[in-house]
Amino acid sequence: MFLVGTELDGTLVDMEVARGKVVAIHPAGSLVPPEGAVIRRGGRVTAPLAEPHVHLDATLLGARSPNRSGTLREGIANWARLRPGLTKEDVRERAMMTVEAYVAHGTTRIRTHVDTGSLVAVEALLALRDEVAATGVELQVVAFPQEGILRAPGRREAWEEAVRLGCDAVGAIPHFERTQAEGTDSLRLTFDLAERYDRRIDVHCDETDDPHSRHLETICALALDRGMGDRVVCGHCTAMHSYENPHAAKVIELVAESGVQVVANPLDNVVLQGRYDSYPRRRGLTRVDQLWDAGALVGIGHDSVQDPWYRLGTANLLDAAYMLVHLGHLTSEEQMHRAVRTLHDQNHRPFGGALPVAPGNPVAWWADTDPVESLRKRAAPEVMAHA
Ligand code: FE2
C-alpha cells in the first residue's frame, strides 16, 4: 500500500505502509509506487482511532432483548436476565464481530468494560484480548461491577476475582450503590484494589441527572492523594450537566488538577438521561466545553454497539463525535476540529498515549484532508491492516 501526496501534520508526504504500519515516509513527489500497487492519493494520515469506553460482553444483543421503554433501568434489567445464559463462545463471537466493525472504522485500540456478574464473560474477553493482539488490535478489559459491589453478598468477591484473573483496569459504579456513603466506600475499595494489583481505574461515574450525585470530586481527591491521576478515567459524569454552576466550576477545576480523564458517551447519554424530565428535557451530557476550557482531559466513547441499552451503535467513533458536537454546542470551527482530533489523540490516553505516525507504528488514512468533512460524512479512516 502506498500513500501519495498525503498530509501528515500539515506537510505533504509519500508513505509506504504494510499491514497497517508505516514502513517509510518520503518527501512528497519522491516515491514511485511499483506497477499494480494499491495506492491512495491525497487525504491525510493520523494515528488510528482509540475507543475508550464500550461493553463488548453485551454487544449485538439488542435485538435479542428489545428495550421496550428505551430506558437505562430497563436496559440493566434486560441485561440481568440475559447474563446467566451467556457462554464463552457466544461472548467471543459477538465481541469479535464488534472488534472487526471497529477496525473497519479505523479503530485499533479498544477499552471494553465487562460485567463482573459473569465470570464467563470476563474469561471470554480476557482470552479475546490475547487473540486479537496477534492481529494488531489492543484490547483492554475493565472489571465493571454493573450492579455495584456493596448492594448484595458475593458481588465484591466476583469483582475482585475478575481483577485477579487479569483485567487491565478496576471499574466501579458508585452512584448505583445504595447510598452516597456506600458509593464513597466503593471508590476507596476501587483504589485499594487497583493499588494492590497495579491496575488502572475506570469508573462509571455519576451517570444520572441527579445534581446531588457527587462522586467525581471524590475520585479526583483520591487520585490526587494517591498520585494516580494519570491512571484514572471517569465515564459519563452526566450529573455534572445538572450541577449548579458554582459547584460545576469547582469540580471541573479539580478534574483538571487531578489529571483524571472524563469520557463522554453522547450516543447513550442523550437517550438514557433526561427520562424523568417532562419539558424542557436535559441533554444528559457532561460539560465538555468547560472541561476543555479548564485544560482537563476528555475522551469520546461509543459505549454501546447494539446492546440492551442502545440498539443503534455502529462502532464508528465519528458517530459519537458527531452527536457530541451537536449536543454540546461544539460547532465552532476549532471545537469541531478538536472533537475529531480527540478520537486519535486523547482517546489513546487510557492506552498510554497515541504513538506518532512514524516507521513501525500503525497509521490511519483519511480520504478528506479537512477533518470537519470527515465528521460531516462520518467517513472513518482506513487502517489498512491487511494491505
Ligand atoms: Fe458504559
Taking only the tens place, the pLDDT of each residue in 250-266 is 999 999 999 999 999 99
List the chain domain ranges: 2-46+358-386, 49-351
Compute, in angstroms, the gap from residue 54 CA to the centroid of ligand 1. Answer: 6
Compute, in angstroms, the gap from residue 103 CA to the centroid of ligand 1. Answer: 20
Compute, in angstroms, the gap from residue 303 CA to the centroid of ligand 1. Answer: 5
* Beta carbons of 106 and 380 less than 8 angstroms apart: yes
207 forms beta bridges with none
Compute, in angstroms, the gap from residue 227 CA to the centroid of ligand 1. Answer: 25
pLDDT at 73: 87
Compute, in angstroms, the gap from residue 236 CA to the centroid of ligand 1. Answer: 8
107 forms beta bridges with 49
Compute, in angstroms, the gap from residue 150 CA to the centroid of ligand 1. Answer: 19
pLDDT score of 384 more than 80: no
Compute, in angstroms, the gap from residue 136 CA to the centroid of ligand 1. Answer: 24
Cell of 384: 489498512
pLDDT score of 100 more than 70: yes
Please, which pLDDT band fits residue 65 given cuts at 50, 70 and 90? confident
pLDDT score of 10 more than 70: yes
CATH 2.30.40.10 is right for the domain spanning 2-46+358-386? yes
Fold of 49-351: TIM Barrel (3.20.20)
pLDDT at 386: 61
- Cα radius of gyration rounded to whole Å, the chain: 21
* Beta carbons of 215 and 173 less than 8 angstroms apart: no
Compute, in angstroms, the gap from residue 178 CA to the centroid of ligand 1. Answer: 19
Q: State how far the Cα of 107 lies from the Cα of 111, in Å rounded to an integer.
A: 11
Compute, in angstroms, the gap from residue 46 CA to the centroid of ligand 1. Answer: 27
- Cα 161 vs. chain centroid, distance in angstroms? 23
Compute, in angstroms, the gap from residue 263 CA to the centroid of ligand 1. Answer: 10
Please, which pLDDT band fits residue 114 given cuts at 50, 70 and 90? very high
pLDDT score of 355 more than 60: yes
Does this model's pTM top 0.95? My answer is: yes
Query: At 134, is the secondary structure helix, strand, or coil?
Result: coil
pLDDT above 70 covers a percentage of the chain that reads: 99
Residue listed under C-alpha cell 427520562? 275
* Alpha carbon separation from 265 to 100, 261, 313 (Å, rounded): 21, 13, 12
pLDDT per residue as tens digits for the range 30-43: 999 999 999 999 99
Residue listed under C-alpha cell 488538577? 257
Residue listed under C-alpha cell 494492590? 196
> 326 or 65: whose pLDDT is higher?
326
* Beta carbons of 238 and 202 less than 8 angstroms apart: no
pLDDT per residue as tens digits for the range 124-170: 999 999 999 999 999 999 999 999 999 999 999 999 999 999 999 99
Compute, in angstroms, the gap from residue 367 CA to the centroid of ligand 1. Answer: 31
pLDDT at 387: 55
pLDDT score of 117 more than 80: yes
Check the CA dihedral 179-181-184-190 and report its sign. negative
Check the CA dihedral 216-143-301-179 and report its sign. negative
Torsion region of 19: left, alpha or beta (phi above 0 gives left; psi -120 to 50 gives alpha): left
Question: Of the residues 207, 244, 333, 382, which is catalytic?
Answer: 207
* Beta carbons of 307 and 62 less than 8 angstroms apart: yes
**CB within 8 A of 130, min separation 6: which ones?**
none
Verify whether residue 207 is a known catalytic residue: yes
Q: State how far the Cα of 129 lies from the Cα of 147, in Å rounded to an integer.
A: 24
